[in-house]
Amino acid sequence: MNTQNDKMVMVMLEYLGIATGAASLLVALIFALYVKKRDPGSGKMVEISGYIRKGAMAFLNREYRSLAVYIVVVSILLYLASLIPVKGGGVSHYTALAFVTGAILSAVSGNIGMRIATLANVRTARAVEKDIQSGLKVAFSSGAVMGLSVVGMGLLGLSVIYIVFKNIDPQGLSNIMFGFGFGASSIALFARVGGGIYTKAADVGADLVGKIETGIPEDDPRNPAVIADNVGDNVGDVAGMGADLFESYVDSIIATMAIGIIFSAALSTQIVLLPLILASLGIISSFIGIGAVVFMRNRDPSKAMNTGVITSAVVMVILSFAVIYMNPTYDFTTINKIVPWYNIFVALIAGLAAGIVIGFSTEYYTSDKYKPTKEIAKASTTGAATNLITGMAIGMMSTVIPVLSISIAIIIAYILADLYGIAIAAVGMLSTLGMTLSMDTYGPVADNAAGIAEMAHLGEDVRARAEDLDAVGNTTAAIGKGFAIGSAALTALALFATYAQTLESMGANLTMDLANPAVTVGLFIGALMPFLFSALALIAVGKAAEDMVNEVRRQFKEIKGILEGKAKPDYEKCVDISTKAAIRKMVIPTILAIIVPVVVGVTPGLGAEAVGGVLAGSIASGFLLAIYMANAGGAWDNAKKYIEKGHFGGKGSEAHKAAVVGDTVGDPLKDTAGPSLNILIKLMSIVSLILAPLFVLL
C-alpha cells in the first residue's frame, strides 16, 4: 500500500467539501443575478412587492436583534461550560466559536434566500404575463438560490470547521462540530417557530376579518393584514423551511462524522470523511437536477419538478455507488467490525428510500386526487364537526407509513453498518437537498406571485396562469413538509445514536435501560415536550391572530374609504404586530427546549441515562405529532380547495363553510406547531450531545 499516496488522497478529499460548497455558492450567485435582472413589471406590482420586501426585512432585522442577544448569551454559557474540567475531554473551548459560526452561516443563507425570494415574486408574476414556463423559470431559479445557498454554506462551513480544528483540538473535534450544529439549530428555532407564529398570526387574522367577517376575497389589497400574510409566506416557508433543512443537513453529516471518529478512534479516516464526500456528490447531483428543471423547455411545471427530483436522485445513487465501491471494506476499528462496501451503500439507499416513501405517503394523505382528502370533503357536507373529526382521524392514520418506513430504514441500516449505518441513512436522505429545497422554495415564491397578480389586478388569464403555478407549489410544499419531518426524525435518530455512542465511548458504563425508572421518566418528559411545545405555539398564534383581528377592525373603522379602495390601509402596523408577537412568543419555547435536557441531565437520580430517555421520547412523540399535524392540516386545506373546484356544492355552500373551518384549524397545526417539532427534537439532541460529558461527570 502506498501510504504517501493514500494520505494525499485523504487530504484532497478533505478539501472536496470546500470546493463543492464554494461551487454551490457560485451557482447560487449566478441564479441570483439571473433573478435580479428580470423585469419587475409595472408600478402597482413594484409597489406591492416593495411592501412585502420591506415587511420581510423588517421581520428579519427585528429577529436578528433578538438573535444577537441569544447568540451572545449562549456562546458565553458554552464557553463557561468548557471551563468545567472533565476527565477525558469535556466541552471544547472552541465549541462556542463553532456555535457562532453555525448560527451565522445558517442566518446568512436564510437571508440570501429570502432576499431573492422577495425579488422573485414580482418578477415571476411579470414573467407569467408571457407564459407559464417563463414564470416557472424565475420562481424555480429563486428556489435554487435558496437550495444551493443552504447546502453550499452548510458543507463549506462544516468542512472548514473540520480542517481547522482537527489540528487545533483533535480531542474536542466532535464537540466543536456539535457546536456548529447547535448554532444551526438555534437559527432554525427562531426561523421556524418565530416564522411559524408570524405567518399564521397574519394568515388567520387576515382570513377571520377579511374572508369571514367582511366578505372580501383573499389577497385583496384593501385588507390591511394582506401584506403581513404575504410576508409570512416568505418568513415561514422560505426562511423557516431553509433553516430547518440547513440544520438537518449539517446535523446528519456531523452525526456520521462523530460516530466515524468514535469507531475509528482517529480523524481523517475513510468513515469520517465519507459523509463529507457524499454531501459533495449530493451537490453535484443537485446541479444536474436543477439543470434539468431549468434548461428543458416547454414542459409542464409539475413534470419539470418531478424530472429534476428523479434526475438528482438517480445521479446521486450512481455517484455514491461509484465512490463507496472504491473501498472494498470499511473499518470500524473500535468495535472490531469490518463492513463490506455494499453494506454502507445499502444503508445509504435505505435512507433515500424512506424519504421517497414518506414523500409519497404525504401526497396520498393530502392530495385531493386520493381518497383521504375526498373523504374529508364529503364529511364537510354534514358540517364542520364531521369535517374535523374525519381530518383528525386521517391525520392520525397517516402516521403509520412514515413511522414504519423510518423504522425499517434504521433497522436495515443498523444491521448492515451498526449505528454508523443509521447516520449514513440520514445523510442519504438529505444528500440531494440542493434540489429538493429548490423545489420547496419555489412554492412560496409562486404563492406570492399569484398574490401580487391578484393585488395588482393583472389580466384574468395572467392570474389564472399564476394560480396554476401556485397549485404546483402546493403539491411540492406538501411533499416538502413530509420530507422535512422525515429527515428531521432520521437526523434526530442519528444524533441520538451519536449520543448513545458518545456515552459508551466515555466508558461510563451507562445504559439507557428502560427498566431503570429514571430512563422511563425521561421518556415521559421527552414525550411531553412536543405536546407542550405545540400548545405554546398554538396559543401564541391564537393571541397574535386576535391582535391582528382587532387591528384590522380598527383600521376598517377609523380609516375612511378603506373598503372602497380609496384610502390606503396601514400595512406596516399589521406587519409590526406579527413581528412583535413572533419574537415575544418564542422566548419560552426556546428556553424550554434548551433547558429541559440540561435540567434532566444534572438532576441527581436522573442524569445522562434519563436524558437518553428524554431524547427518545421526544423523537417518538414529536415525529408522530408532527406528521399528524402536517397531514391533517394539508388534507383540510386541500379538501377545502376540492370543494371550491365545484364538488359537494362548491364555493359558498354549507359544505364549503364547514371546510373553511377545518382549513383554518389546520393552518397553525401544519405551519406553526408541526414544523416547530422538527426543530425541537433536533435541538434537544444536539444540546444533550454537547453537554453529555458534563452529565456523565455530575
**Residues in region 451-510 near a copy of itself by CB under 8 A:** 493, 496-497, 500-501, 503-504
Strands (E), 61-202: none
Position 585, amino acid: K
Closer CB to a copy of itself, 443 or 633, in the complex: 633
Please report how close the Cβ of residue 661 comes to a copy of itself at its closest, in angstroms. 5
Binding a copy of itself (rule: CB under 8 A), the pick from 623, 642, 648, 695 is: 623
> Which residues, 173 to 212, sit near a copy of itself by CB under 8 A?
204, 208, 212
Please report how close the Cβ of residue 472 comes to a copy of itself at its closest, in angstroms. 27
Name residues whose C-beta falls within 8 Å of residue 268's C-beta, 6 or more positions apart in sequence: 10, 14, 166
Q: How far is CA 355 from CA 142, 302, 315, 432, 565, in A?
A: 24, 19, 16, 11, 47
Binding a copy of itself (rule: CB under 8 A), the pick from 199, 390, 431, 448 is: 390
Please report how close the Cβ of residue 446 comes to a copy of itself at its closest, in angstroms. 26
Binding a copy of itself (rule: CB under 8 A), the pick from 42, 306, 307, 386 is: 386
Name residues whose C-beta falls within 8 Å of residue 437's C-beta, 6 or more positions apart in sequence: 143, 146, 147, 150, 151, 241, 242, 245, 480
Binding a copy of itself (rule: CB under 8 A), the pick from 98, 379, 416, 455 is: 379
- Candidate ranges 12-20, 53-61, 414-422, 679-687; the one touching a copy of itself (CB under 8 A): 414-422
Is residue 621 close enough to count as binding a copy of itself by CB under 8 A? yes
Binding a copy of itself (rule: CB under 8 A), the pick from 419, 427, 643, 692 is: 419
Report the C-alpha gap between 158 and 155 in whole angstroms.
Answer: 5
Please report how close the Cβ of residue 535 comes to a copy of itself at its closest, in angstroms. 4
Report the C-alpha gap between 182 and 179 in whole angstroms.
Answer: 5
> Which residues, 287 to 316, sit near a copy of itself by CB under 8 A?
none
Cell numbers 441515562 correspond to 609
Binding a copy of itself (rule: CB under 8 A), the pick from 9, 33, 76, 411 is: 411
Please report how close the Cβ of residue 444 comes to a copy of itself at its closest, in angstroms. 23
> Which residues, 668 to 687, sit near a copy of itself by CB under 8 A?
668-669
Q: How far is CA 329 from CA 172, 264, 390, in A?
A: 27, 13, 51
Name residues whose C-beta falls within 8 Å of residue 541's C-beta, 6 or more positions apart in sequence: 196, 197, 200, 201, 204, 668, 672
What's the grid cell of residue 426? 440520514
Please report how close the Cβ of residue 665 comes to a copy of itself at its closest, in angstroms. 5
Is residue 269 close enough to count as binding a copy of itself by CB under 8 A? no
Binding a copy of itself (rule: CB under 8 A), the pick from 41, 289, 301, 617 is: 617
> Which residues, 209 to 268, sit near a copy of itself by CB under 8 A?
212
Cell numbers 465519507 correspond to 274
Please report how close the Cβ of residue 209 comes to a copy of itself at its closest, in angstroms. 9
Binding a copy of itself (rule: CB under 8 A), the pick from 517, 570, 580, 649 is: 517
CB atoms within 10 A of CB 566: 10
CB atoms within 10 A of CB 553: 15
Contact between 487 and 425 (Cβ < 8 Å): no
Reduce the secondary structure of 400-442 to three states and give it as a string: HHHHHHHHHHHHHHHHHHHHHHHHHHHHHHHCCHHHHHHHHHH
Please report how close the Cβ of residue 613 comes to a copy of itself at its closest, in angstroms. 7
Position 161, amino acid: I
φ, ψ at 337 (rounded to 5°): -130, 140
Is residue 511 close enough to count as binding a copy of itself by CB under 8 A? yes
Is residue 335 close enough to count as binding a copy of itself by CB under 8 A? no
Binding a copy of itself (rule: CB under 8 A), the pick from 31, 51, 180, 628 is: 628
Q: How many residues bind a copy of itself (CB under 8 A)?
A: 82
Closer CB to a copy of itself, 461 or 513, in the complex: 513
> Which residues, 593 to 612, sit near a copy of itself by CB under 8 A?
605-606, 612
Closer CB to a copy of itself, 428 or 443, in the complex: 428
Contact between 586 and 193 (Cβ < 8 Å): yes
Binding a copy of itself (rule: CB under 8 A), the pick from 284, 388, 429, 608 is: 388
Q: How far is CA 209 from CA 519, 553, 555, in A?
A: 48, 7, 11
> Which residues, 519 to 578, sit near a copy of itself by CB under 8 A?
519-521, 523-528, 531-532, 534-536, 538-539, 541-542, 545-546, 549
Report the C-alpha gap between 86 and 77 in whole angstroms.
Answer: 16
Q: Whose CA is closest to 625, among 427, 499, 489?
A: 489
> Torsion angle, CA of 43/48/52/57, rounded to 10 degrees?
40
Position 89, amino acid: G
Report the C-alpha gap between 70 and 321 in whole angstroms.
Answer: 42
- Candidate ranges 14-22, 327-335, 398-406, 574-582; the one touching a copy of itself (CB under 8 A): 398-406
Please report how close the Cβ of residue 423 comes to a copy of itself at its closest, in angstroms. 12
Is residue 400 close enough to count as binding a copy of itself by CB under 8 A? yes
Closer CB to a copy of itself, 441 or 621, in the complex: 621
Closer CB to a copy of itself, 417 or 455, in the complex: 417
Please report how close the Cβ of residue 260 comes to a copy of itself at its closest, in angstroms. 17
Name residues whose C-beta falls within 8 Å of residue 215's C-beta, 6 or more positions apart in sequence: none
Closer CB to a copy of itself, 380 or 432, in the complex: 380
